Amino acid sequence: MSLQTEFPPVAGSLRIGIVPLAGGSLRVTLAGRLDTHSYQELDAALAPLVHGQLQSLVLDLADLEYISSAGIRSIFKARKALGGHGGKVLLVNPQAQIQKVLDVVKAVPMHEIFVSTAEADAYLDAMQRKVLHADEDEDE
């Protein structure tokens, strides 16, 4: 038996793409709206990815139109999961509404927000080199 509702379901307002990057990083592209209706989709998509070896999670927000406090909490959940083993969440290409919300809640230290993926890639490369150098130092 199915109940006919007056309104179409709101699921599907968020689209998530997952792209593995070199060096234990992952790019996740978000499109649409990250809000009280969709944050659980992001939580579910990220849960199996944010453990263990993942060093950097790049959230590409270029096509994300809107975020609310529910979405901010999801990003922080991922950040906390990665932070447990020294990993980082980087936000790139935040649109105006998202930047405004991030600014108001002071959600993310500014050096972890990148206006372009190229900028984030450069940062990741630098981090990678730092890790490699640290390994070399240990050998000395």
Residues of the shown chain interacting with another protein in the complex, contacts defined by CB under 8 A:
7, 9-10, 13, 35-37, 65-66, 68-70, 72-73, 76-77, 80, 96-97, 100-101, 104-107
- Shortest separation between residue 29's beta carbon and another protein, angstroms: 20
- Shortest separation between residue 100's beta carbon and another protein, angstroms: 8
Residue closer to another protein by CB (options 62, 118) is: 62
CA distance 121 to 129: 12
- Shortest separation between residue 125's beta carbon and another protein, angstroms: 29
Q: How many residues belong to the chain?
A: 140
Tokens 């060093």, located at residue: 55
Residue closer to another protein by CB (options 15, 77) is: 77
Cβ-count burial 101-132 (b if 16+ within 10 Å, e if not): bbeeeebbeeeebbeebeebbebbeebbeeee
